[in-house]
Amino acid sequence: GDSVTQMEGPVTLSEEAFLTINCTYTATGYPSLFWYVQYPGEGLQLLLKATKADDKGSNKGFEATYRKETTSFHLEKGSVQVSDSAVYFCALGANTGNQFYFGTGTSLTVIP
C-alpha cells in the first residue's frame, strides 16, 4: 500500500543553518506530495505541495522537489530561523479515494 517514510528527529540546528528533512514514499500511480508544519498546540498548516513529477513546491523559504526516480520529496531551507521551530510532516495524497498518508513527523528546534 501507499506509505511515507520520513527522517526521524528530533533535529536541532543553529539559526541560519541549512535544513534538510528527508521524505521518501511508496505509491501506486501518481500521488500528490505535501509538507505540513505544526507549531506547538496548533493544527497542521500546509507548507508546500507538488502534484506531479519534477514539480517544485516552495513557500516561506522552504522548498521540496517531487522526484519520481528516487521516490523522494525532501524538504530544504537555506537558512533556518528560530521561528521555524515546529514539527514537520511529509504527506502523500493518494490518487484513488480520499486517503492521506502522513509520515511520522520530524521535530525541528532552531537555537539562536
Question: Interface with other proteins by CB under 8 A: which residues?
Answer: 30-32, 34, 36, 41-46, 49, 51, 89, 93-100, 102-105, 107
What proportions of the chain, in percent to the nearest 5, are helix, strand and coil? 5, 55, 45
In the complex, minimum distance from the CB of residue 86 to other proteins, in angstroms, rounded to a whole number:
13
> 105: closest CA among 1, 2, 12, 11?
11
Q: Which is nearer to other proteins, 86 or 105 (CB)?
A: 105
In the complex, minimum distance from the CB of residue 6 to other proteins, in angstroms, rounded to a whole number:
9
- List, in sequence order, every residue forming a beta bridge with 20; answer none if it has no partner: 76
Q: Which is nearer to other proteins, 97 or 112 (CB)?
A: 97
Please give the backbone phi and psi of residue 17, each rounded to the nearest 5 degrees, phi first. Answer: -75, 165
In the complex, minimum distance from the CB of residue 88 to other proteins, in angstroms, rounded to a whole number:
11
Q: Which is nearer to other proteins, 46 or 82 (CB)?
A: 46
How far the first Cα of the chain sits from its last, in Å, is: 41
Residues, the chain, total? 112
In the complex, minimum distance from the CB of residue 111 to other proteins, in angstroms, rounded to a whole number:
20
